[in-house]
Structure 1
Amino acid sequence: MTHAATRARTAYKPARFPGAPLLGTQARHLVGRFSYGVTPALAAQVRAAGGAHRWFERQLEPSRVADRRAAGLRAWWPSFDRRPAELWQRQERELEGGWEVMEDYARWALVRRITSDRQVLEVMTELWENHFNVPAVGDAQFTYRVSYGDTIRSHALGRFDDLLHAAVTHPAMGIFLDNAVSTARHPNENLGRELLELHTVGRGQYSEDDVKASARILTGFRVDLWDSWEASYSPRDHWTGPVKVMGFRDPNAERDGRPAVRRYLSYLAHHPATAQRVARRLAVKFVRDDPPQALVDRLAKVYLDADTEIRPVLRALVASPQFKASVGSKVRDPGEDLVATYRVLRVQLARPPAGRAGDEHAVKAMLWQVGNLGTSPFSWPRPDGQPIDSESWSSPSRVLASMDLHWAMAGGWWPSKGITYRTPKQWLPRKKIRFDLFVDHLSQQLLHRRSTATLLRACCEMCDVSPGDVISADHPIVKWDFHRLLGTVLDSPAHFTR
Structure 2
Amino acid sequence: MRRQKQNGISCWVLGFLAMLLCYAGPVSSEEDSANFVNARFLYQSTFGPTPALIDQVEKVGIESWIKQQQLLPATYHRPLYDTPFSKGAQANRENAWYQIVLTSEDQLRQRMAFALSQILVVSRYGGALSSKPTGLVDYYDVLVKHAFGNYRDLLHEVAIHPAMGNYLSMMGSTKENPSTGALPDENFARELMQLFTLGLYELNLDGSVKRDPKTGKP
**Which residue of the partner structure matches residue 139 of structure 1?**
128
Q: Which residue identity does 1:37 align to in structure 2?
A: G
After superposition, the Cα gap between the structure-2 partners of 1:167 and 1:157, relative to the gap in structure 1 and judged at 3 Å, is same
Q: Which residue identity does 1:134 align to in structure 2?
A: V
> Is 1:183 aligned with 2:183?
no
**Which residue of the partner structure matches residue 106 of structure 1?**
94
**Which residue of the partner structure matches residue 83 of structure 2?**
78
**Which residue of the partner structure matches residue 192 of structure 2?**
195
> Is 1:58 aligned with 2:68?
yes
> 2-side partners of 1:25 and 1:174: how far apart?
43
> 2-side partners of 1:120 and 1:112: how far apart?
12
> 1-side partners of 2:118 and 2:111: how far apart?
11
Q: Which of structures 1 and 2 has the larger relative contact order (alpha carbons within 8 angstroms, sep 6+)?
A: 1
> Is 1:17 aligned with 2:25?
yes
> 2-side partners of 1:181 and 1:199: how far apart?
22
Q: Which residue identity does 1:272 align to in structure 2?
A: E
What secondary structure, in the 3-state scheme, does the structure 2 residue paired with 1:201 have? coil
> 1-side partners of 2:188 and 2:146: how far apart?
20
> 2-side partners of 1:79 and 1:178: how far apart?
30
> 1-side partners of 2:148 and 2:110: how far apart?
10
| Residues 305-358 of structure 1: CA deviation (Å, up to 9, x unaligned) | xxxxxxxxxxxxxxxxxxxxxxxxxxxxxxxxxxxxxxxxxxxxxxxxxxxxxx
Q: Which residue identity does 2:142 align to in structure 1?
A: T
**Which residue of the partner structure matches residue 34 of structure 1?**
45
Report the TM-score when normalising by structure 2. Answer: 0.64
Q: Which residue identity does 1:172 align to in structure 2?
A: A
How many residues in Structure 1 have an aligned counterpart in Structure 2?
171
> 2-side partners of 1:56 and 1:114: how far apart?
18
After superposition, the Cα gap between the structure-2 partners of 1:145 and 1:76, relative to the gap in structure 1 and judged at 3 Å, is closer
**How far off is 1:54 after superposition?**
1.3
**Which residue of the partner structure matches residue 255 of structure 1?**
none
**Which residue of the partner structure matches residue 160 of structure 2?**
169
**How far off is 1:157 after superposition?**
1.1
| Residues 214-268 of structure 1: CA deviation (Å, up to 9, x unaligned) | xxxxxxxxxxxxxxxxxxxxxxxxxxxxxxxx5xxxxxxxxxxxxxxxxxxxxxx
- Asked if the contact 1:31–1:38 (Cα under 8 Å) also holds between the matched residues in 2, the reply is yes
**How far off is 1:120 after superposition?**
0.8
Residue from 116, 133, 136 that aligns with 1:128:
116
Q: Which structure is higher in strand share?
A: 1
- Asked if the contact 2:93–2:133 (Cα under 8 Å) also holds between the matched residues in 1, the reply is no
What secondary structure, in the 3-state scheme, does the structure 2 residue paired with 1:179 have? coil
After superposition, the Cα gap between the structure-2 partners of 1:109 and 1:72, relative to the gap in structure 1 and judged at 3 Å, is closer
- Asked if the contact 2:80–2:96 (Cα under 8 Å) also holds between the matched residues in 1, the reply is no
| Residues 74-118 of structure 1: CA deviation (Å, up to 9, x unaligned) | 4464379xxxxxxxxxxxxxxx99xx4233212221221110121
After superposition, the Cα gap between the structure-2 partners of 1:162 and 1:105, relative to the gap in structure 1 and judged at 3 Å, is same
Q: Which residue identity does 1:144 align to in structure 2?
A: G
**How far off is 1:139 after superposition?**
2.8
**Which residue of the partner structure matches residue 15 of structure 2?**
none
Identity of aligned residues (%): 27
Unaligned regions of 5+ residues in structure 1, if any? 1-13, 81-95, 203-245, 247-270, 277-292, 294-498
Q: Which residue identity does 2:92 align to in structure 1?
A: D
**How far off is 1:200 after superposition?**
1.5
**How far off is 1:272 after superposition?**
3.4
> 1-side partners of 2:106 and 2:70: how far apart?
9
After superposition, the Cα gap between the structure-2 partners of 1:198 and 1:71, relative to the gap in structure 1 and judged at 3 Å, is closer
**Which residue of the partner structure matches residue 141 of structure 2?**
150
Matches within 5 A, 1:45-444: 45-47=56-58, 50-63=60-73, 74-75=79-80, 77-78=82-83, 100-137=88-125, 138-140=127-129, 141-184=132-175, 185=177, 186=182, 187-201=184-198, 246=200, 272=202
- Asked if the contact 1:152–1:163 (Cα under 8 Å) also holds between the matched residues in 2, the reply is yes
| Residues 43-93 of structure 1: CA deviation (Å, up to 9, x unaligned) | 233245x22221122223333xxx8xx67994464379xxxxxxxxxxxxx
